[in-house]
Amino acid sequence: MSKPRVLLADDHTLVLEGFKKLLEEHSQVVGTVGDGRSLLEAAKRLRPDIVVLDISMPKLNGLDAARRLRKIVPQARLIFVTVHADSDYVNQAFQAGASGYLLKRSAGSELLQAVQAVASGNYYITSLIAKDLVQSTLTGTAPSMTDPNRLTMRQREILQLVAEGLTLKEIASTLGLSPKTVEYHKSKLMEQLSLHTTAELTKFALTHGLTSAPE
């Protein structure tokens, strides 16, 4: 059996280097990237079998990147490695197309196992969150009006870029839109989420893992 082609995405260089060392003996690591938009470009070019990605990444978060990867490289299997242990994130990840989910604190002992499981066509969820996930599935609470999953993909993109400090003009350039269209989406976002300032939008994006706090 040939080694699976793995693409790694995380905005921390040390994490990428660590993952690469963990996997290189049993996998072919075809590339590493540091943000969600670079991930989409690399996936299109490299056609990986497996993508290992974080949720909180600049320019395009991992959840939205995963939704796009399903169209760009539908054959690729996705494994999230993240600090987010909340069952809401786990559910969102699998809804976005994940085949695996583990926490960074256990990646040293679980990442290779997860890649091997996913490469064989199975799913992998770290035991650290499996109990909470089952519990949340059984209780099944309805999503609130401020659930980021209720936002359109375009709204989520603009929300993340606003939170990362880009101007309307810069967002328009990044997304290929007019500044007026970006301004319209931003105002609709604020209305829909009952938020009134850019600072509140930023806090919402950080709270829901749509972007990461600057270091």
Give the chain's count of helices (H) and strands (E). Answer: 10, 6
Sheet containing strand 98-103, edge to edge, reads: 28-33, 5-9, 50-53, 77-82, 98-103, 124-125
Any domain includes 68: yes
Look up the CATH number of the domain holding residue 179. Answer: 1.10.10.10
Rounded to whole angstroms, the Cα distance separating 206 from 211 reads: 5
Do 115 and 196 belong together in one domain?
no
Q: For position 80, what pLDDT does the model report? A: 96
Any domain includes 23: yes
Q: For position 103, what pLDDT does the model report? A: 92
Do 185 and 114 belong together in one domain?
no
Any domain includes 212: no
Q: For position 146, what pLDDT does the model report? A: 52
Look up the CATH number of the domain holding residue 15. Answer: 3.40.50.2300
Q: For position 155, what pLDDT does the model report? A: 86
Do 19 and 104 belong together in one domain?
yes
How far is Cα of residue 75 from the mean position of the Cα atoms in its chain?
18
Please give the model's pTM, rounded to 2 decimal places. Answer: 0.72
Rounded to whole angstroms, the Cα distance separating 14 from 137 reads: 34
Q: For position 43, what pLDDT does the model report? A: 96
Question: What is the count of structural domains for the chain?
Answer: 2
Domain with 55 in it: 5-139
Q: For position 200, what pLDDT does the model report? A: 84
Q: For the chain (length 215 residues), average pLDDT per consecutive 10?
A: 90 93 93 95 96 92 93 95 85 90 91 93 84 56 55 85 88 90 87 84 80 58
